[in-house]
Amino acid sequence: MSTSLTSRRAFLGGSLLFVGGMALSACGKGDAVKAGAKVTLEQWYHAYGEAGTQQAVIRYAKEYTKANPDVAIKVNWIAGDYSAKLHSTLLTPQAPDLFEIGDFQYVDVKNGLLAPLDDIVKGQEAEYSKASLESATADGKLHGLKMMDDAMVLYYRKSVLEKAAVAPPQTFAELAAAAMKLTSREQKGLFVGSDGIGNAAYLLLWSNGGDLLDPEGRKVVFNSPEGVAAISGLKQLHDGKSLLLDFTTDWYDPGAFIQGAAAMQWCGLWAMPAIKKALGDDFGVLAWPKFGDSGRAVSRIGGWFAAVNAKGEHVEEAKKFVEWLWIKQAELQKDWCVSYGFHVPSRKSVAARTTEFTSGPAKDAADILANTGKAYPNLWNTAMDSAFAQAVLKIAKSGGDAKSLLDEAAAKAQAELDKQLA
Amino acid sequence: MADTVTARQATATRPAGVRPGRRGRRTDWKAVGAFTLLTAPMVVGLGLFKYTAIGWSFLLSFSEARGTVDLGSWVGFDNYAFLLEDEAFRSSMTGIVLFTIFIVPVTFGMSLGLAVLLHGVRRGRAFFRTGFLLPAAVSYVVAALVWKMSLFNGLPSGVANTIGGLFGWDVQSWIAGTDPPLYWIVIITLRLWLQVGLYMILFLAGLQAIPVHLYEAASLDGASRRAQFRHITLPMLRNTSVAILMLILIAAFQAFDEFYNVFMTTTGNATAPVRPPLVFLYDTALKGQDYGVGSAGAFMLTLLIVLVTLLQGRLVGFGRKD
């Protein structure tokens, strides 16, 4: 009996120690908290893949505290599904004061999560691309400040195209023909994504003058005749067996292009340093070619926005920090964009001073972005994307009727849009 | 329950000198205190983090809750009606039923078959047992990525395509191709590899509990191996089988990880050719921030699982006394 008592006591003691330890270790999280600061702002970043980014943002935060000793910034680096984690945390009192947003969503504004930033951006609007301002503007106010622009463009392998006597494609017909001509047993012509869809349906739609929503953002219009015709083009690519499918990584990674599994790939500017390192000068970039003569070449503009929690305790302090870092500190913005990964500074004056973008494919990509960049409207949400994507899947791979499938998806997306606007 | 047992054991192991009657009648406050102390965290935790959450989610399923978990904008059964009309959700529900009808007997048969084979092995049983069980310890995510990136990638150098090449087959896209739907081969082999070992161990334990003398007597009476299997092994394994059947069934309805990871792209699961209910609900509630519709879907799935489990209990007699 005495042994069983001791072991029970030991178990209880052990449990208490464990719980205590957990409680203590939970207090020790976070970086760069400065003792003595009056206000501590909590800031969230998604986990950037590039080495040095985390150290960089902590350094920016420390520099701010050096200039403003009253405010300390605690940086949290969030791995995993950032958007889902951010949105669940924003519903709780543990919500961060500052955070970044990838795809801007209207519902966040509707729910009053984002503080308007118009007063700090005033007079600076011309510095930013129209597409970026539009996606962060809702209910007439700007709710996010672009930290950097990501260009998504079509990479092509110069030597492979030359060998096959194929010119860089300027229309969709040329793209489809080139993809066919460049396909062999070991190499496919084009890689748009492991699922054979990726961004291609959006690009096709835009490249034929179609769009997701009408300019007022009240009506879903991707089922327009232009949209139906262009999205059917994806089936043409699938039927030609010239698309690389089921590659080990998806389109965001340049692996397929570097390894020669595909002669052309849709990818981001972020991959350019790796491509340059592997292939030297043997590559070029293009916009997604226009679908027909009435269409226009397009590219996608991505990147992250800095946003402030409207329900936080320190909205004014947080806005001051955003203004300091993303408007006033040109050197830090440049450092952020080109010292670790490779992004176009979102402010035109900073981009103009960034020598990395003055020549070669990097300049081409920056020009393509400036001239043809499109972003998703902020009313475009997961449910609408899902309806659209399922229709595209059936059109491209199962040979479904494009018109009726897109009509059906548009009706579903319209219902979703109406609910958002209600 | 474990604590009740401990308390009872403590009473049972009381030294013989103490008269049990006197203490038996009085409430043992020490035991009650210990019981409360030990169970309270569990009960409070369950109540707070499970049942409150389930109740809240039930209320949410009757609300319009986008990007918020606040109650208040009641919409009645709108969320349920929306899902019932939604082609994507309906095909997700019918899909999971078909998947279950296929995967449950296959998993069951393979686990039982392997267990019987292993039970008959004289040498190296421990080796094979460990070998078959090992995949059960592998993370679904890791296994799904190995299947996707290494075994079934679409390159000529992928393992499946290399083997196919030996037979002169063309290079196949195993996951992105939908005609024919080769992705089922990827999903089903992955699931069997991960799950069969564990159920096999359970069957093996059941087999080892069957008294050997039954087989000896049957042999003396001239029963064939087949007759022994039908008339001794299967009936003696009934309780094990019923329990395992239920586990496989619930696991089938809860399919998530392998579907999610095999079909995952940069932007999520929107272009997946099949989305089981849990993937659908994850996309709706956590990606799309539509907690109202997500909760409604979760309760509809729960209802389906309960119905099927009850039906199965009826059919195979779970909990029926022998």
Q: How far apart are CA A103 and CA B319, in angstroms?
A: 52
Determine the Cα–Cα distance for residues A236 and A242; give it in Å rounded to an integer: 10
Residue A386, φ and ψ in degrees, nearest 5: -65, -45
CA distance A308 to chain B (A): 17
Cα nearest neighbour of A380 on chain B: B288
Classify burial at A347, counting beta carbons within 10 Å of its beta carbon; exposed 0-12, middle 13-18, buried 19 or more: buried
> How far apart are alpha carbons A110 and A138 in whole angstroms?
9
Q: Which two tokens stand for residue B278?
A: 């849990």
pLDDT, position B318: 60
Which residue does chain A place closest to B3, by CA atoms?
Answer: A8
Cα–Cα separations (whole angstroms), residue B107 to A356, A383, B306: 57, 34, 21
Per-residue pLDDT tens over the stretch A207-216: 999 999 999 8
Flag whether residue A87 sits within 8 Å of chain B, measured between CB atoms. Answer: yes
Give the residue among A261, A129, A251, A245 at the shortest CA–CA distance from A196. Answer: A245
H/E/C letters for each residue in chain B? CHHHHHHHHHHHCCCCCCCHHHHHHCCCHHHHHHHHHHHHHHHHHHHHHHHHHHHHHHHHCCECCECCCCCCCECCCHHHHHHHHCHHHHHHHHHHHHHHHHHHHHHHHHHHHHHHHHHHCCCCHHHHHHHHHHHHHCCHHHHHHHHHHHHCCCCCCCHHHHHHHHCCCCCCCCCCCCCCCCHHHHHHHHHHHHHHHHHHHHHHHHHHCCCHHHHHHHHHCCCCHHHHHHHHHHHHCHHHHHHHHHHHHHHHHCCCHHHHHHCCECCECCCCCCCCHHHHHHHHHHHCCEHHHHHHHHHHHHHHHHHHHHHHHHHHCCCCCC
Inter-chain touch A390–B173, beta carbons under 8 Å = no
B182 touches chain A (CB under 8 A): no
A186 touches chain B (CB under 8 A): yes
CATH classification for the domain delimited by A39-150+302-374, as one of 3.40.190.10, 3.30.160.100, 1.10.443.10, 3.30.465.10:
3.40.190.10
Q: Give yes or no for B291 touching A (CB within 8 A).
A: no
Cβ-contact A387, A222 below 8 angstroms: no
A84/B286 Cβ within 8 A: yes
Q: For B288, which of A108, A193, A383 is closest by C-beta distance?
A: A383
**Cβ within 8 Å of B, A 306-365:** none
Number of H helices, E strands in chain A: 18, 12
pLDDT of residue B314: 83
Contact B67 A110 (CB under 8 A): yes
What is the average pLDDT score of chain A?
90
User: A393 CA to chain B: closest CA distance, Å?
Assistant: 6
Do A39-150+302-374 and A152-300+378-421 show the same overall fold? Answer: yes
Q: B284 and A383 in contact by Cβ < 8 A?
A: yes
What average pLDDT does this structure show over A199-224?
95
Which of A91, A196, A261 shows the shortest C-beta gap to B68? A91
Distance from CA of B271 to the nearest CA of A (A): 5
Instruction: Compute the Cα dihedral for A401, A402, A403, A404 and give only its sign.
Output: positive
- C-alpha angle with apex A245: A252 to A229, nearest 5 degrees? 90
Q: Give the per-residue pLDDT at B11.
A: 46
Spell out the per-residue pLDDT of chain B, length 322, in tens. Answer: 444 444 444 444 445 445 555 555 678 889 999 999 999 999 998 888 889 989 999 999 999 988 888 887 899 999 999 999 999 999 999 999 999 999 999 999 999 999 999 998 888 888 999 999 999 999 999 999 999 999 999 888 899 999 999 998 888 899 998 888 999 999 999 999 999 999 999 999 999 999 999 999 999 999 998 999 999 999 999 989 989 999 999 999 999 999 999 999 888 888 999 999 999 999 999 888 899 999 999 999 999 989 988 888 788 766 565 5
Task: Sketch the domain layout of chain A as residue ranges.
Answer: 39-150+302-374, 152-300+378-421
Q: Give the closest of B64, B152, B270 to A385, CB-based.
A: B270
For residue A9, what pLDDT is reported?
62
Measure the CA dihedral B286/B291/B295/B298, to 10°. Answer: -20
pLDDT for A360-403, tens place per residue?
999 999 999 999 999 999 999 989 999 999 999 999 998 889 99
Quickly count: other Cβ atoms within 10 Å of residue B90's Cβ: 12
CATH superfamily of A152-300+378-421: Periplasmic binding protein-like II (3.40.190.10)
Site from A110, A246, A407, A418 to mutate, B interface, most B CB atoms within 10 angstroms? A246
Residue B67: which of A8, A87, A249 has the nearest Cβ? A87
Q: Which of B66, B178, B268 sits opposite A398 (nearest CB)?
A: B178
To 5 degrees, how large is the angle CA A65–CA A67–CA A71? 35
CA distance B70 to chain A (A): 9
Angle, helix B29-45 to helix B2-12, in steps of 10 degrees: 170
CB contact under 8 A, A111 and B265: no
Neighbours of A364 (CB within 10 A): 17
- Calpha distance B237→A308 (Å, rounded): 61
The length of chain A is 422
| pLDDT score of A14 | 61
Coil/strand/helix, residue A304: strand
**Chain B residues within 8 A of A110 when measuring between CB atoms:** 66-67
Of A196, A261, A382, the CB nearest to B288: A382
Residue B82 makes CB contacts below 8 A (sequence gap 6+) with B293, B296
**What residue type is assigned to position A27 of the chain?**
C
Chain B: give the shortest CA distance to residue A386, in Å. Answer: 5
List the structure tokens of A346.
């979102």
Quick check: A195 and B263 CB within 8 A? yes
Residue B222, by phi and psi: left (phi above 0), alpha (psi -120 to 50) or beta? Answer: left
Q: How far is A391 from chain B (nearest CA, A)?
A: 9
Cβ-contact A171, A298 below 8 angstroms: no
CA distances from B37 to A8, A233, B29 (A): 12, 67, 12
- Report yes or no: A334 and A184 within 8 Å, Cβ to Cβ: no
In chain B, whose CA is at the least distance from the CA of A422?
A: B64
- Determine contact: A239 vs chain B, CB below 8 A: no
In this predicted structure, what is the pLDDT of residue A136?
93
Q: Per residue in A96-106, pLDDT tens?
A: 999 999 988 89
pTM reported for the whole predicted model:
0.84
Which position has the token pair 């995952």? B264
Q: What is the pLDDT of residue B261?
A: 93
- Position A152 scores a pLDDT of 95
Instruction: Give the DSSP letter of residue A182.
Output: T
Residue-wise pLDDT for A167-188, tens only, equals 999 999 999 999 999 999 889 9
**Residue A349 DSSP label:** H
| Touching A: B residues 199-258, CB under 8 Å | none
Contact A72, A40 (CB under 8 A): yes
DSSP A292: S
Task: Quote the tokens at residue B203.
Answer: 């069957």
Q: What is the separation of C-alpha A27 from the centre of its chain, rounded to a whole number of angstroms?
A: 32
Nearest CA in chain B to A85: B286
CA neighbours within 13 Å on the CB side: how many for A21?
A: 6
Contact B155 A248 (CB under 8 A): yes
A123: left (phi over 0), alpha (psi -120 to 50) or beta: left
Residue B290: its chain A contacts at CB < 8 A? Answer: 383
Whether A8 and B263 lie within 8 Å, measured CB to CB: no
Confidence of residue A154 (pLDDT cuts 50, 70, 90): very high
**In this structure, are residues A63 and A81 in contact, taking their beta carbons and an 8 Å threshold?**
no
What is the C-alpha to C-alpha distance for residues B151 and B158, in angstroms, rounded to an integer?
6
Q: How far apart are CA A307 and CA A117, in angstroms?
A: 8
The verdict on ipTM greater than 0.90 is no
Residues 358-417 of chain A with CB under 8 A from chain B are 381-383, 385-390, 392-393, 397-398, 408, 412
Instruction: Identify the pLDDT of residue B289.
Output: 86
CB contact under 8 A, B88 and A386: yes
What's the token pair of residue B257? 């990880």
Contact between chains at B265 and A193 (C-beta distance less than 8 A)? yes
Q: Is A9 on the interface with B (CB under 8 A)?
A: no
For chains A and B, CB pairs below 8 A equal: 124
The torsion angles phi and psi of A219, rounded to 5 degrees, stand at -140, 140
Per-residue pLDDT at B320? 61
Secondary element (H or E) of residue A191: strand A188-191
- Among B6, B38, B176, whose Cβ lies nearest the Cβ of A194? B176
The answer to whether A308 touches A318, Cβ cutoff 8 Å, is: yes
HSE-CB for B9 with a 13 A CA cutoff: 9
**What b-and-e string marks burial along A150-184, b requiring 16 or more CB atoms within 10 Å of the CB?**
bbbbbbbbeebbeeeebebbebbeebbbbbbebbe
B290 and A248 within 8 Å at the Cβ level: the answer is: no
Topology (CATH level 3) of domain B84-316 = MetI-like fold (1.10.3720)
Contact A385, B289 (CB under 8 A): no
List the single residue in B158, B178, B289 with the smallest CB-CB distance to A107: B289
- The nearest alpha carbon in chain A to B262 belongs to A246
What is the full DSSP assignment across A315-328?
HHHHHHHHHIIIII
| DSSP symbol at A169 | P
Q: How many CB atoms lie within 10 A of CB B221?
A: 8
Q: Are B66 and B307 in contact (CB under 8 A)?
A: no
Query: Which chain B residues in 4-63 lie under 8 Å from chain A, judged by CB atoms?
Result: 6, 9-10, 13-15, 34, 37-38
- CB of A190 within 8 Å of a chain B CB? The answer is no
Partner-chain contact A382 B287, CB within 8 Å: yes
